Amino acid sequence: MSNPADDPAAVIAIRDLAFRWRRGTPIVLTIDHLEIARGERVFIEGPSGSGKTTLLSLLAGVVKAEQGSLSILGQPLERMGAVKRDHFRADHVGYVFQMFNLIPYLSLVENVTLPCRFSRLRRARVLERTGCSGRSARCLEEEALRLLDHLDMAEPARSKRPVTELSVGQQQRVAAARALMGSPEILIADEPTSALDSDRREAFIRLLFRECAETRMSLIFVSHDAALEPLFDRTVRLAEVNRALKPPGAVCDVFGWDRLQST
């Protein structure tokens, strides 16, 4: 892993951010200060409802903060409209969704090469990486198969298995290969290992780390699997960082159990 001090410019910088899902509903995420450096591998941890997925949606520009600032690669997302944020995400962010979001009518390889349809930048990076001078569709396919091969998925891809016939664990690996395609600067993964057995989980993490190290990609990884935490450079504990959460003990005791227990 690169030392963040090598590159002082943070890839992600959050200041005084507050977010609510809808007007009139409570603020669910308040973060005063958070920076993630280029090439850093960060494990995001927190109990259910602490705002992990909300934070990832903000980082991906799917939603926008109503207060404060969130800059990615020096670009403040709050100043961009929805369409610009979509283009920005396509160019710079790979996202492994909890529910995979594979497209059922595309082949396995087409699912993996999809980011290159939406982003010329990612397409150009694949062509540069492969040093390919032939037909670009062929080069994209080769890169997709390289990534799938590392995840033990090249055979289903070559035998043209429809994505709808893949197991949950296999779909998860296809989703990971798609997120890595074209080496985005930021890779966001929301519970990406939940459907994998322990051998596959290790192969999956090894691939993520290797790809991230090669291109100095920053990895933001949400998981409930505490065994994975020591592998990362740093942990962000949302229960500590998110000031919108009630402090422990502030749970509303409508039944008065606390009073009854202490009498």
Residue from 2, 15, 53, 213 binding ligand ATP (CB under 6 A): 53
Q: Closer to ligand ATP at the Cβ: 28 or 106?
A: 28
Select the span of 35-43, 49-57, 66-74, 170-178 touching ligand ATP (CB under 6 A): 49-57
Contact criterion met (CB below 8 Å) for 57 and 77 = no
Report the site for ligand ATP in 15-34 (rule: CB under 6 A): 21, 28
Residue from 4, 17, 42, 54 binding ligand ATP (CB under 6 A): 54
Q: Name the token pair of 22.
A: 């809808």
Distance CA 209, CA 232 (A): 9
If you write DSSP's letter for every residue of 122-179 in order, what string do you get?
HHHHHHHHHT--S-HHHHHHHHHHHHHHHTT-HHHHHTT--GGGS-HHHHHHHHHHHH
Residue from 4, 46, 61, 192 binding ligand ATP (CB under 6 A): 46
Does 99 sit near ligand ATP (CB under 6 A)?
no
3-state secondary structure of 112: helix
Strands (E), 21-92: 29-37, 41-45, 67-72, 75-76
CB of 123 to ligand ATP, least distance (A): 31
Distance CA 141, CA 125 (A): 14
Among candidate residues 119, 144, 139, 116, the one with its CA nearest the CA of residue 128: 139
Distance CA 261, CA 256 (A): 9
Select the span of 48-56, 70-78, 119-127, 192-200 touching ligand ATP (CB under 6 A): 48-56
Residue from 4, 51, 61, 115 binding ligand ATP (CB under 6 A): 51
CB of 260 to ligand ATP, least distance (A): 28
CB of 170 to ligand ATP, least distance (A): 23
Q: Closer to ligand ATP at the Cβ: 22 or 259?
A: 22
> With contacts defined by CB under 6 A, how many residues of the chain interact with ligand ATP?
10
Would you tell me the crossing angle of helices 120-130 and 108-118 to the nearest 10 degrees? 120
Tally of CB atoms within 10 A around 111: 24
Q: Closer to ligand ATP at the Cβ: 2 or 53?
A: 53
Residue from 30, 50, 113, 170 binding ligand ATP (CB under 6 A): 50
Contact residues for ligand ATP, defined by CB under 6 A: 21, 28, 46, 48-54
